[in-house]
């Protein structure tokens, strides 16, 4: 079962929620899809790490074979090829690796080379498999890394899997939630938090994914995120209080449920309500 944790706004507690839920679940898998800024591994500090480089295909030109017809230049929608001073120049950073230029070159002057854009690290923390995607700095798109992380997960099979998403609602998040069985939206009680919660709320509705909300950083005061949920009859899965101790554990890269009985209770309750929700979903779906 795949549970995807997302938020829209950054810094609301996606990693806190996904790391602690995975840590409470035996034989689970934690996948960090926030490949631009992966942080889950800072908490798990996994062991027995296996690294795999992730590459994309970039065209290279043989200048002897190129006759300057510019068909590739005219074809490329990303302006990654230019022909200047009798020479074809390729801008690797603009290339989307579609393979079009190589396919259509009448002189077969273009071939492809592999360009490494980042890596996937797979390790173990207790019985939790920890998979982390890491994009190299200066690279524009981590999507090939996310594809690798999720493709691999299809092979893992039945294990409970927690997917820690990047912030936002762009393509990179979309790819992460496509195969989700359930989505957890993490929200903080601020005007910004609610505005961005609304975005991911629209996103999970668009994809018709079952979902619930975790209210993080809860204070005594009125919670605009809670109000948002109540007005729309959105399931509230749990509440995590704002407190210094949790903040401190989190700042130190500690897994809260391993350090403190109180948080263990909070996240256990949260896990129970997630599992209950998912089971409900499966029964209502099979009845349909």
Partner 1 sequence: MKQLLILSGKGGTGKTTIASAFIKLSNARAYADCDVDAPNLHLITGWDSEPDKSDYYGLPKADINTEKCIECDVCRQNCRFDAILAEEGYKVDPFACEGCGVCEYVCPVEAITLIPSIDGEWMLYSDDDKVFSTAQLKMGSGTSGMLVTEVKKQMRLASEDAEFAIIDGSPGIGCPVIASLSGVDMVLIVTEPSISGMSDMERIINTAIKFGTKIAVCINKYDIHIENTEKIEDFCKKQGLPFMGRIPFDFNAVKAINNGLTIVDIDCISGLACKAVYEKAMELFKEV
State whether residue 57 is helix, strand or coil. Answer: strand
189 is an interface residue for partner 1 by CB under 8 A: yes
Instruction: Write the binding mask 62 to 81 for partner 1: x where contact by CB under 8 A, - elsewhere.
Output: -------------x-xx---
Instruction: Look at the alpha carbons of 124, 126, 127, 131 in this order and tell me if their dihedral is positive or negative.
Output: negative
Question: 3-class SS at 8?
Answer: coil
Is residue 9 involved in binding partner 1 (CB under 8 A)? Answer: yes
Among 110, 130, 135, 255, binds partner 1 (CB under 8 A): 135
Output 108 or 265, the one with its CB closest to partner 1. Answer: 108
Q: How far is the first Cα of the chain from the last one, in angstroms, to the nearest whole number?
A: 20
Candidate list 18, 132, 141, 153; residue touching partner 1; CB under 8 A:
141
Interface with partner 1, residue 124, by CB under 8 A: no
Q: Do the bridges between strand 2-6 and strand 161-164 make them parallel or antiparallel, or are there none, so unpaired?
A: parallel
User: Do 78 and 96 contact (CB within 8 A), yes or no?
Assistant: yes
Residue 253 touching partner 1 (CB under 8 A): yes
Rounded Cα–Cα distance for residues 262 and 249 (Å)? 13
If one asks whether residue 153 binds partner 1 (CB under 8 A), the answer comes out as no
Min dist CB 26 to partner 1, Å, is 25
Q: Which of 1, 58, 96, 262 binds partner 1 (CB under 8 A)?
A: 96
Yes or no: say if 15 and 209 are a contact pair by the CB < 8 Å rule. Answer: no
Out of 84, 86, 158, 191, point to the residue binding partner 1 (CB under 8 A): 191
Q: Which residues pair with 6 in a beta bridge?
A: 185
Site size with partner 1, rule: CB under 8 A:
58
**Between 46 and 189, whose beta carbon lies closer to partner 1?**
189
β-pair type (128-135, 87-90) = unpaired
């Amino acid at each position: 079962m795949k549970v995807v944790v997302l938020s829209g706004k950054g810094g609301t507690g996606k990693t806190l929620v996904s790391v602690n839920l995975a840590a409470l679940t035996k034989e689970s898998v934690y996948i960090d899809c926030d490949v631009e800024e992966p942080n889950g591994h800072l908490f798990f500090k996994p062991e027995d790490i296996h690294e795999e480089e992730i590459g994309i295909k970039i065209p290279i030109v043989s200048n002897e074979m190129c006759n300057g017809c510019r068909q590739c230049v005219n074809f490329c929608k990303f302006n990654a090829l230019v022909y200047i001073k009798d020479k074809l120049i390729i801008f690797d950073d603009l290339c989307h690796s579609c393979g079009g230029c190589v396919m259509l070159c009448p002189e077969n002057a273009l071939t492809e080379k592999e360009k490494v854009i980042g890596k996937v690290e797979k390790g173990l923390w207790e019985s939790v498999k920890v998979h982390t995607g890491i994009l190299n700095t200066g690279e524009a798109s981590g999507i090939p890394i996310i594809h690798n992380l999720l493709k691999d997960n299809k092979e893992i099979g039945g294990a409970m899997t927690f997917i820690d998403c990047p912030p936002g609602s762009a393509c990179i998040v979309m790819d992460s939630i496509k195969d989700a069985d359930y989505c957890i939206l993490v929200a903080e009680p601020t005007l910004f938090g609610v505005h961005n919660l609304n975005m991911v709320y629209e996103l999970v509705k668009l994809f018709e994914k079952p979902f619930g909300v975790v209210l993080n950083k809860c204070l005594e005061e009125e919670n605009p995120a809670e109000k948002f949920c109540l007005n729309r009859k959105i399931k509230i899965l749990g509440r995590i209080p704002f407190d210094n101790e949790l903040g401190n554990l989190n700042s130190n890269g500690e897994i809260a449920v391993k350090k403190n009985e109180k948080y263990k209770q909070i996240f256990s309750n949260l896990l129970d309500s997630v599992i209950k929700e998912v089971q409900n979903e499966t029964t209502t779906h099979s009845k349909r």
